[in-house]
Amino acid sequence: TREILGTSARADSARLLNPWVLDFRSRWGTLTATASAPLLIENRALGYRLRYDLHAFSASDGRVSYDGDEQFTPLAPDSPETAARWAAEREAAYRGSLPHLLRSLLRGTADAEGYTFVHVFEDSWGGRGSGTRFPVRADGLVRTDSAGWGSLRVRGQLEVAFPEAEDPAYLQHPWFRERRSRSASVQRSALHLTGFARFDPRGVPEDPFAISTSGYLGFERLADALPAEYEPPAPSPDDSQAPPAGG
């Protein structure tokens, strides 16, 4: 549950309802899991019940990977306040997520939304050489086909920064290695590609294992997941702007 639901603040309000369907195997330091029936997860932080048909799960000291088919069913809020809280939490969970990142690259809004990128080339042995880091603009990272799908082509590693504060729980994540005790105001992650990753207009990769994440995006798990069709509410017009000088 820690590895698949995560350890974020939202994971405290998510629970696996049928853990008995899971079966585990451990060999050579790798834990694998299979499920005899879909996992049923109730997420009271985001207001969903998630039916997760687990296809694959493995966890080792340096990597966790899992894949499954998701079916979200909204929970019925018990009050208008609960409905408003869930709506706000869903929007917060979306911002900075992998679907948000991929959609913004596809729509050409990543720079405007505050994302910044650094391309890190790796040498032939998989290490980082000196002088191989340089900032890149979002508009050169993705190619779009006639069907509206995007292809992210990056050789090496793409570091991503998003200008929103970290969940304080990130510092207690088992894989957190930085020497600091305060949450940062920027979420920093890295994307690792095996070649190129094709994804649909909703920001869902065609191959679930084509993009590996580390850093903050690697911290977010199923307790922070949203339906693939989720769209945040459109921003309301800002009527508080002052008139132009001299007007």
- The SS3 call for residue 4 is helix
Q: How open is the CA angle 20-208-228, to the nearest 5 degrees?
A: 80
What tens digit of pLDDT does each residue of 112-124 get? 999 999 998 765 5
pTM of the model: 0.88
Confidence of residue 229 (pLDDT cuts 50, 70, 90): very high
| Confidence check: pLDDT of 157 > 60 | yes
- The SS3 call for residue 15 is strand
Q: 214 and 189 in contact (C-beta within 8 Å)?
A: yes
Task: Quote the percentage of the chain above a pLDDT of 70.
Answer: 89
What tens digit of pLDDT does each residue of 98-144 get? 999 999 999 999 999 999 999 987 655 544 444 478 899 998 899 99
pLDDT at 245: 44
Residue type, 232: P
What ranges in the chain are assigned the alpha helix state H?
2-5, 80-94, 98-107, 216-219
Encode 182-216: b = buried (16+ Cβ within 10 Å), e = exposed: eeeeebbbbbbbeeebebbeebebeeeebbbbbbb
Q: 145 and 151 in contact (C-beta within 8 Å)?
A: yes
| Confidence check: pLDDT of 40 > 50 | yes
- Report the alpha-carbon distance of residue 233 to residue 225 in Å, rounded: 17
- Report the alpha-carbon distance of residue 101 to residue 220 in Å, rounded: 14
pLDDT at 175: 65
Instruction: Calculate the dihedral angle through the C-alpha atoms of 212, 213, 218, 220, rounding to the nearest 10 degrees.
Output: -90
Tokens of 89: 């939490």
Going through the chain in order, the beta strands assigned E by DSSP cover 14-16, 22-27, 30-35, 39-43, 48-59, 64-74, 116-122, 128-136, 142-144, 150-153, 157-162, 187-193, 196-199, 211-215
The CA-atom distances, in angstroms, between 62 and each of 58, 65, 127, 135, 185 are 11, 10, 16, 27, 26
CB atoms within 10 A of CB 177: 5
Positive or negative, the CA dihedral 83, 88, 92, 95 is positive
